[in-house]
């Protein structure tokens, strides 16, 4: 849930601040866009859809223009279990609270039911919505206008931008337009912060990113990661003990791999990314735990740190 509060006392008219959602169906490039807008790794990225499982905040501070708090929502899709249902509900709630919306679509594919559903949700917010047609760098020139028209026909959006989040193309134009539209207001976070996620949460996400990248199609969506121990042993050494949760014994064997090779690969790659993120040497221990049906049981989801409404139902 996002709680928005503002104090506008003595704020120069040139400084803006506001919350901006990044919304779209799975795998359209929202997390890549967030990382490139902020200039830091805030969200984990994978070629597989439904990588993002919570509403992540990324904070961009500009001393001359103000501060934008981007909220990267999970890809909106038809949920198949309680975890998915709860995160989609969070995403829908975000859309009611923020000041502005960036509706991200994939230029390499024709609009689908997911795009049309989101366009309908945003219909009464179209004047506060920019349509970002992403991955235009992958489109043959002859197809660009056809696909662009198909997406612009989804709604009466305030503006339409053709971008490539991966290559940061078109993002300066988006930010210039966004700062013009946001309300006058003070910075809501210190200028040196770029996310409100804790280090423990970020570390767990960086480990989960490597699970996504290094296991088969079945495994990633059935996994979660939590941190058991996180200790600063010396000024330049951090000890981390983390648990990769799966739903079945067969999945555990896949994550561990033959003679532990797959788990070793995951650990080595995660250690490097965590070390770069924290700026210290990392001693990382990984364990794999079977937690049957964790995605469909409220108590287990809460234990793993997911927000689930008390009246949420399975399925």
Distance in angstroms (rounded) separating the CA atoms of residues 95 and 71: 10
CB atoms within 10 A of CB 273: 19
Would the annotation count 26 as a binding residue? yes
Residue 30, annotated as binding a ligand: yes
134 labeled part of a ligand binding site: yes
φ/ψ of 294, rounded to 5, equals: -60, -30
Distance, CA of 39 to CA of 192 (rounded, Å): 12
Q: Is 281 helix (H, G, I), strand (E, B) or coil?
A: strand
Does 249 belong to an annotated binding site? Answer: no
73 annotated as a binding-site residue: yes
Q: Is 292 annotated as a binding residue?
A: no
**Residue 29 annotated as lining a ligand binding site:** yes
Distance between CA atoms of 151 and 144, rounded to whole angstroms?
11
Burial of 303 (0-12, 13-18, 19+ CB in 10 A): middle
The three-class DSSP label of residue 159 is strand
CA 217 to chain CA mean position, Å: 20
Give the residue from 73, 70, 151, 149 showing the smallest Cα distance to 106.
151
The verdict on whether residue 25 carries a ligand-binding annotation is: yes
The answer to whether 41 is annotated as binding is no
What 3 state SS string does 202-216 have? HHHHHHHHHHHHHCC
In the structure encoding, which two tokens stand for residue 2, read together? 């996002």
Q: Residue 246 annotated as binding?
A: no
Q: Is 28 marked as a binding-site residue?
A: yes
127 is in an annotated binding site: no
User: 12 labelled as ligand-binding?
Assistant: no
163 is in an annotated binding site: no
The reply, when asked if residue 137 is annotated as ligand binding, is: yes
Instruction: Check the annotation: does 243 bind a ligand.
Output: no
78 is in an annotated binding site: no
Residue list for the binding site:
24-31, 72-76, 134-137
Question: Which residue ranges make up the annotated binding site for GTP?
Answer: 24-31, 72-76, 134-137
């Amino acid at each position: 849930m996002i709680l928005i509060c503002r104090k506008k006392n003595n704020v120069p008219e040139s400084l803006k601040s506001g919350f901006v959602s990044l919304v779209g169906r799975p795998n359209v490039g929202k997390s890549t866009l967030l990382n490139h807008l902020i200039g830091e790794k805030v969200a984990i990225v994978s070629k597989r859809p439904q990588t993002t499982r919570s509403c992540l905040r990324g904070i961009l501070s500009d001393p001359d223009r103000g501060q934008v708090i981007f909220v990267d929502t999970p890809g909106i899709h038809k949920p198949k279990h309680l975890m998915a249902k709860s995160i989609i509900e969070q995403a829908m709630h975000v859309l009611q609270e923020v000041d502005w919306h960036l509706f991200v679509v994939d230029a390499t594919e024709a609009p689908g039911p997911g795009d049309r559903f989101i366009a309908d949700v945003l219909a009464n917010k179209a004047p506060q919505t920019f349509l970002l047609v992403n991955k235009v760098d992958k489109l043959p020139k002859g197809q660009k206008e056809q696909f662009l028209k198909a997406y612009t026909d989804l709604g009466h959006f305030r503006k339409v931008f053709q971008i490539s989040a991966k290559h940061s193309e078109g993002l300066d134009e988006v930010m210039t337009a966004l700062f013009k539209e946001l309300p006058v207001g003070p910075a809501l976070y210190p200028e040196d912060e770029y996310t409100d996620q804790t280090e423990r949460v970020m570390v767990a996400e960086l480990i989960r990113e490597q699970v996504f990248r290094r296991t088969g199609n079945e495994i990633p969506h059935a996994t979660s990661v939590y941190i058991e121990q996180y200790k600063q042993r010396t000024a330049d050494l951090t000890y981390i003990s983390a648990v990769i949760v799966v739903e079945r014994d067969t999945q555990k064997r896949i994550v561990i791999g033959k003679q532990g090779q797959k788990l070793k690969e995951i650990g080595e790659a995660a250690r490097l990314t965590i070390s770069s993120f924290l700026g210290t040497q990392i001693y990382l221990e990984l364990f794999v735990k079977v937690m049957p049906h964790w995605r469909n049981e409220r108590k287990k989801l809460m234990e793993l740190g997911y927000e689930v409404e008390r009246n949420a139902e399975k399925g």
